[in-house]
Amino acid sequence: MARKQSTKSGKAGSAEKTVKDIRRATRKTYSSEEKIRIVIEGLRGESSIAELCRREGINQNLYYRWSKDFLEAGKKRLAGDTEREANTAEVKTLRQESRQLKEALAEQMLENRLLKKSMIADGPEELEDDI
């Protein structure tokens, strides 16, 4: 009798694992826009959070996590933390151009300094020749 129970629990464990795997594979993923829409709808307060979560098919804990992330991001943005990682081609191109312009400016400044030094060095000799 004990053997039958262990095989049943083994099959049940396998079935539970299969169900979990299927749920994990078919889990809905939400885009940023969908998350923002849901959080803003919850912040409006037109319906309860529980009702909103039931309607959207999400857990309340997930809603509150999204809400916290949303509010923290807004807080950072308002505080002036606007530094973002450059990932667009345009920004990368602008950074490369800026680097090239800085190098050109440094070369011009160096050349200007060398010319000034040569003028200072040549200056007293030219004055003696003129006298």
- Report pLDDT digits (tens) over 46-105: 999 999 999 999 999 999 999 999 999 888 888 776 566 556 778 888 889 999 999 999
> For residues 58 and 28, is the Cβ–Cβ distance under 8 A?
no
Determine the distance from the C-alpha atom of residue 45 to the mean position of all C-alpha atoms in its chain, rounded to a whole number.
29
Residue 108 has pLDDT above 90, yes or no: yes
Q: Which of 16-20, 25-29, 64-68, 71-75 has the lowest mean pLDDT?
A: 25-29
Higher local confidence (pLDDT), 30 or 77: 30
